Amino acid sequence: MHDSRTAEDIASTVARPTLRPEAMAAGESGIVEVFNYGRGRQGLIPLWVGEGDLPTPAFICDAATRSLAAGETFYTHQRGIPELRDAIARYIGRVYGVAASPERFNVTIGGMQALQTAIRMIAGSGDEVILPTPAWPNFHGALSVAGAQPVELPLIYDTSAGNAIWRFDLDRLAAAIGPRTRAIIVNSPANPTGWTATREEIVAILELARRYGLWIVADEIYGRIVFDRECAPSFRDVMEEEDRIFFVQTMSKNWSMTGWRVGWLEAPPEYGQIIENLVQYSTSGVPVFAQRAAVAALDQGEGFFAHLLSRVRRSRDIICDGLAATGRVHFAKPEGAFYLFCTIDGEADTRALALRLVDEAGVGLAPGSAFGQGGEQFVRICFARKPEDMAEATRRLVTWLAR
């Protein structure tokens, strides 16, 4: 059949964008927007992203240096070098008191690749995943770019007893489960709220997942950054071997290794080959020198972690006590993680507020609007910095509030 279109018509059709809508809809992070706005400002105290000010300790860096000097610069095991998977299993056994096979652990490029891999295995176009909010924006992003639909389930900010707390509503969770629901994401201790699930809540969530045949994606990366106990309640405390749980983990927080991009995905061993295939088709594995560093952190890093946690605890008390004393800042004191999620009287547009605080107070915060439903009127303050910095940041914010 003769094509009556002109050359111009054909060229215009060929040139028309053909990107996938999931990619086109991937928006800029509200945290990154403020970060970029304030990047490079002299004297600014950056409390916007989820990392501290301590560099990676020397004993971890030295392990990487030795690896490079030994010529370990080639392709390696897609699921991680055996030494690191063994070290992860030992670490989990020490912390949680459970025996764990190295076959459960798959090394990834940070916790983000672990999350994306888990989602790719269980959810796609037409599927729904329940996401308690306010939540780290990357949860929403990872689901959306996979074609899945995040079903936001706002936590309850409860001030009825005088002291504010974040509460998880199990009845709302049950009501949110529908025929297209594939999984529930549970981040505890939570970024940005500090909400930490109780053992009873974990049991109830797991029972619902079992009843409806759902997966749980358990992000417990802040599980040891808690302030009133050794470790936060975990799904490990109550799970059975056959339960459908993916654990997302990272080296970033406990050992000041955000830039190393090493994490792991824990899954039932029968899914190991599938995970290996997905790693092969995305990153082809994690550099060996970074994995050697991770082994050192897991095997030798308890002293460093204790130091980090002590600083975080002191910094939390400084910022919480200082801002509460103004009478204008309201929050639930975080039980875990290293974020203060707070409201400020008279400041409803938190995106605009975060940009103004860069200019007017010299402090970089993250707008609560970046964290989904229930976060719009809050700002997030990362207090994983030395107490002296937190004292100065508190002074600047208190001065700004008193204007």
- pLDDT of 313: 98
- pLDDT of 176: 98
- pLDDT of 72: 98
Break the chain into its structural domains and give their ranges: 20-56+303-397, 74-300
**Residues in contact with 306: Cβ distance below 8 Å, sequence separation at least 6, in sequence order:** none
Question: At the top level of CATH, which class does the domain 74-300 belong to?
Answer: alpha beta
Share of the chain above pLDDT 70, in %: 96
- pLDDT of 29: 80
- pLDDT of 21: 83
Question: What confidence tier does 56 reach under pLDDT thresholds 50, 70, 90?
Answer: very high
As given in the structure block, the two tokens for residue 357 are: 């605080």
**8 Å CB contact between 52 and 308:** yes
- pLDDT of 224: 98
Q: Which residue has the higher pLDDT, 12 or 348?
A: 348
- Mean pLDDT over 287-303 rounds to 98
- Mean pLDDT over 119-145 rounds to 96
Residue 270 has what DSSP assignment? G
As given in the structure block, the two tokens for residue 237 are: 């405390």
Nearest to 183 by CA among 215, 160, 218: 215
Question: What confidence tier does 9 reach under pLDDT thresholds 50, 70, 90?
Answer: low
As given in the structure block, the two tokens for residue 310 are: 């002590």
- pLDDT of 32: 87
Mean pLDDT score of the chain: 94
Question: What confidence tier does 5 reach under pLDDT thresholds 50, 70, 90?
Answer: low
Mark residue 239 as left, alpha or beta (left: phi above 0; alpha: psi -120 to 50; beta: remaining): beta
CA distance 175 to 177: 6
Contacts by 32-41, CB closer than 8 A, 24 or more apart: 33/351, 34/351, 34/354, 34/355, 34/358, 34/364, 34/365, 34/366, 34/367, 35/364, 37/355, 37/358, 38/358, 38/364, 41/358, 41/362
CB burial of residue 368 (10 Å; 0-12, 13-18, 19+): buried
In the predicted structure, residue 10 carries a pLDDT above the cut 60: no
CATH of 20-56+303-397, one of 3.90.1150.10, 3.30.1740.10, 3.30.70.1140, 2.40.110.10: 3.90.1150.10
Partnered with residue 130 across adjacent β-strands are 151, 184
In the predicted structure, residue 67 carries a pLDDT above the cut 80: yes
DSSP H/E element including 331: strand 329-331
What would the pLDDT profile of 152-177 be if each residue is shown by its tens digit? 999 999 998 788 999 999 999 999 99
- pLDDT of 1: 52
- 20-56+303-397 against 74-300: fold identical: no
CA distance 132 to 190: 10
Question: What confidence tier does 90 reach under pLDDT thresholds 50, 70, 90?
Answer: very high
In the predicted structure, residue 395 carries a pLDDT above the cut 70: yes
- pLDDT of 127: 97
- pLDDT of 23: 83
Question: What confidence tier does 287 reach under pLDDT thresholds 50, 70, 90?
Answer: very high
What 3-state class would DSSP assign to 130? strand
- Mean pLDDT over 263-285 rounds to 96
**Residues in contact with 315: Cβ distance below 8 Å, sequence separation at least 6, in sequence order:** 338, 383, 384, 385, 386, 387, 389, 390
CA torsion through residues 261, 267, 269, 275, sign: negative
**Residues in contact with 45: Cβ distance below 8 Å, sequence separation at least 6, in sequence order:** 362, 363, 364, 385, 389, 392, 393, 396
